[in-house]
Structure 1
């Protein structure tokens, strides 16, 4: 191991605290974590010079690949002008342009307003607080109960965590945030007294942290019809599904659904910089006019930061100049074919779930984490959710990259099983 690698690992183990990580295991003397130092396209390199395919798009954020020259240039150009200015009492050109661009993806007079924040959790917090204040300022403050779906995930700040249905993450914090009721299906939601429900929250088309589980086709459209009839606000969490992941720019577009609030983050800047947005309608926005005490008193120091907005505009321009969405159907079909092969031929695979370029490969119990570690030997980086291996590469991947990723999972699963009782034939 190189001296600089060892120095970085030792400093990490002495001082850093990693998310979603049992620190005793991380800091154990036998554990040598990868130190990632460089990226290009769908590839990452560690400090020892080894190359890997970025199989989970750097925690579901990267869209067009690492070190894309167009995004790099946009950030450099903005940096030469100004890195950051306050959005409290001031505007900036890139934020104006980005707000206009985001609203252009939806029909006129629908999602017309954009509130910027920092990440997926804060985008959800904005929607929650904004929706509650909307009720208070329109004479419907008695409706305060949120409804979320079991095993859903909407972020880790306290309000967003209240919506989380994954017990191992959120059970200890139950009752510390807003009132939330959980349902497992649309039928359970329909059975609930609608007049008690303030808003319903969902990850459209597919739940992410719930081991990549798609919703039935048409469910989102039915949910929207119910919410409109019941006078319930609809909040869509597109933090994971936005920006092409499911095959369209936004997942809700596949079922022609326009929510009251749409939350985006992760891929908004192409995976470069923290930036989030909460889109909402004129009806919601107009309830915050008038007296000063009706304003939305919420914000962050780096709200609408110019560097992030410049990266986002560049990323969105690439969807057009590189035909990103147009290239996806062939890639999605190829991934489906390779995953079907894996499901059929590899006995370690229990199930495969896919929605666009998002896939979850469920393995036999106890194999998920070990398979992801072993996949590094075959040039793939990704992470499991329980025993489901996530495959969600940058959208710039080619079909041979997908072949390599699926084969790496096959070989790693075989090797993981062999350490117990044998592997794939």
Structure 2
């Protein structure tokens, strides 16, 4: 979705008129409002009907022009047939075109100084626009305040309330409701009471006179009607209330940052570095954009520029956003589940959304090792649950004493698994945990080689302790080559195997340490610095561990050692492998699960963030049957005693089902083909073969080896273009390295001070340059020390991503 700024001007009021139904008087009320604004407030008035149907002589713009002569009328598309706009249209009118024209016209009118504008829709909220999209969804990116014209006819109470709820659930502000008076049904009296608690002002006026002939007499009667009603006290008061609400909205937005600064405590922030001016006030969000308050220094001071501007959600709202803000399908799923269940406790129970989600998640990740799902609320908790599962299984198999033995984990440096105490203990000492009194860091962390593009070449950079055995960094012609299983027979693979084996032997045999799990972020180590891990190192580590049960059971008796031998290909071996896919899973990297790219399947995996498309907090820890069996006994103390009040809350589960279905539909639809083609070179025979194999691999079920690993090599691709990534990597004046995979882009900047990592400030300048913006829009981004990362949603359009790339180029001077 291209960027469209929500229109909010200090001295220019603009409203969208929706009708509860057809034939409720939208144009008559638009005429009344426009006349009243011009007469009572002395403002210029505009009327826009983007799409109009019916004969030109009966067009709404002509009605306005006849009875509100001071109002400037505008119309983009006029279709002759008086039917639904999508049927009247002779050619399809794209939503983008209609929205762009509407937003541009609003902005143009606002440049003329103080004024009042009506944008009138056609039909009811769900009457389709020319493209067939419901108008309530079609115009949502603009999020104009709504004047709802209620239905005064028989049955109008129901249609009016339904229209109100449809608009509210989509995030619209309804600033006023209006309808005609009538004595038979008395809809106005009922609706006045119904909307009293919502504090939405309701205006009821006399109905216009019935049509008479000749036309001159009819026009004279209507002129008298408009003159009388538009100057009535009720209309004057209604218009005054609209102005008050308009100014109150501006006041709330302008003062929100200062009020928040005095009472809020933000995550991951040193508050001495914050100020009200540095806070980002978000008025609304839709698609890939926030609508943010544009501070005075960033806009004109004459009132002709909107106080809001579109801001690209460049962090995907902390990695959660995948299906666009304001996604109507997710909203309706949430509303339905809230209405059906609210929240119901899950202990020893089940409900349909949870049952469906359990099946869907297992099917989506397509890992035959995983058979059980445990619900929790966020990624950190999901990982803590996974750790409990793994350690218990290892202790049971190897005879470790949970109360007496120190049982550690194996992991990676630069890892991050969350901020609960147990999740912190899975990571090495870092800026995230070094000041936390309870942190103990119970593990050993391998230093993983990393993948980067530097000066147009893909390289694998080894840690210093590994360089002596491998020499200079390995270089590759493409990112796909780095993920190829052909590397399993390379010199790198042999060195990794030897290095890992000798390290494990030292830890377990010489140092006598006990380990209960391998915990890893597959493919990308996220918050630790956006490190793109060498997939071969992660794969070899898993393979070595799974073939080394003797190392982990060496310090216990032979009975425990023999118990570690299993003939089940899906049973865990060596140590349970715990994959933290909270960030990288569920299509973040273009595939259902990140471990597919590494050619192994974990025994336990944690999923969150994209699980609900960014709408609600929910997480799942999936585990194998062999891990699950470790908790079975006759004593409750042996159970997995973990949970929280909102375990498997029905609203979150329902949204997650819709989210996973939409992600799967996108994957199968070919909507990512343009991105994939850019990275596959599909014009070549080899590229076409790779694309064909990728299509086979993503079909269900995936072709698997007996141990559950995929037989087909998956395509590696990104929504960020290859040329863009290459150009950034060649900007050696500022860029140390760059990489892109799936929806993620990470730019490592050179820091001349010698500081690196999380405490570096070198990326702040680039972040501020992107946020400053030009041409009325900007980009919100996050930094991790010297690394600035950007993330698209999974529904981002190619033209939008390319526009964002251009803005990054400008900010970097590329």
TM-score with structure 2 length normalisation? 0.48
Matches of 1:212 and 1:243, distance apart in 2: 18
Q: C-alpha offsets along residues 129-179 of structure 1, whole Å, 9 cap, x if unaligned? A: 122222344453257211121111111111111122362112234873462
1:105 is paired with a residue whose SS is helix
Q: 1:32 to 1:216 in 2, by over 3 A?
A: closer
CA offset at residue 367 of structure 1?
3.4
Structure 1's unaligned 5+ residue stretches are: 415-423
Counterpart of 1:417 in structure 2 is none
Q: 1:11 to 1:197 in 2, by over 3 A?
A: same
Counterpart of 1:219 in structure 2 is 537
Task: Say if 2:805 is the partner of 1:406.
Answer: yes
Q: 1:163 to 1:108 in 2, by over 3 A?
A: closer
* 1:26-425 alignment runs, 5 A limit: 26=274, 28=275, 31-47=277-293, 48-107=307-366, 109-141=368-400, 144-165=407-428, 167-173=430-436, 176-177=439-440, 179-185=442-448, 189-190=500-501, 191-193=503-505, 195=508, 196-230=514-548, 231-291=574-634, 292-323=636-667, 326-328=670-672, 330-331=674-675, 332=718, 334-345=720-731, 347-365=733-751, 366-378=761-773, 379-414=778-813
CA offset at residue 405 of structure 1?
1.8
Q: C-alpha offsets along residues 196-236 of structure 1, whole Å, 9 cap, x if unaligned? A: 32211111112112332212233333222112112112111
Q: C-alpha offsets along residues 353-379 of structure 1, whole Å, 9 cap, x if unaligned? A: 222221101123243112112212322
8 Å CA contact 2:579–2:602 kept in 1: the answer is yes
Q: 1:222 to 1:263 in 2, by over 3 A?
A: same
8 Å CA contact 2:365–2:586 kept in 1: the answer is no
8 Å CA contact 2:523–2:532 kept in 1: the answer is yes
Please say which structure displays the higher CA radius of gyration: 2
8 Å CA contact 2:333–2:655 kept in 1: the answer is yes
Matches of 1:166 and 1:177, distance apart in 2: 8
CA offset at residue 346 of structure 1?
7.0
1:169 is paired with a residue whose SS is coil
8 Å CA contact 1:247–1:329 kept in 2: the answer is no
Question: Could you tell me which of 273, 282, 286 is aligned with 1:25?
Answer: 273
Q: 1:106 to 1:368 in 2, by over 3 A?
A: closer
8 Å CA contact 1:149–1:202 kept in 2: the answer is yes
8 Å CA contact 1:137–1:294 kept in 2: the answer is no
2:431 is paired with a residue whose SS is helix
Counterpart of 2:758 in structure 1 is none
Matches of 1:362 and 1:334, distance apart in 2: 16
Q: C-alpha offsets along residues 308-362 of structure 1, whole Å, 9 cap, x if unaligned? A: 1111100011123333784335322652322212333573222102222211011
Q: C-alpha offsets along residues 246-293 of structure 1, whole Å, 9 cap, x if unaligned? A: 121111012331111101111110111000111100001112223122
Q: 1:92 to 1:140 in 2, by over 3 A?
A: same
Q: 1:210 to 1:335 in 2, by over 3 A?
A: farther
1:45 is paired with a residue whose SS is strand
8 Å CA contact 2:379–2:582 kept in 1: the answer is yes
Q: C-alpha offsets along residues 366-400 of structure 1, whole Å, 9 cap, x if unaligned? A: 43112112212322111111121111111111222
8 Å CA contact 1:155–1:164 kept in 2: the answer is no
8 Å CA contact 1:324–1:395 kept in 2: the answer is no
2:334 is paired with a residue whose SS is helix
1:104 is paired with a residue whose SS is helix
Q: 1:117 to 1:18 in 2, by over 3 A?
A: same
Range with bigger deviation, 273-282 or 225-234: 225-234
Counterpart of 1:421 in structure 2 is none
2:411 is paired with a residue whose SS is strand
1:259 is paired with a residue whose SS is coil
1:79 is paired with a residue whose SS is helix
2:738 is paired with a residue whose SS is strand
Q: 1:114 to 1:227 in 2, by over 3 A?
A: same
Matches of 1:329 and 1:143, distance apart in 2: 50
8 Å CA contact 1:319–1:325 kept in 2: the answer is no
Q: 1:277 to 1:67 in 2, by over 3 A?
A: same
Q: 1:327 to 1:140 in 2, by over 3 A?
A: farther
User: What RMSD, in angstroms, separates the aligned Cα atoms of the two structures?
Assistant: 2.3
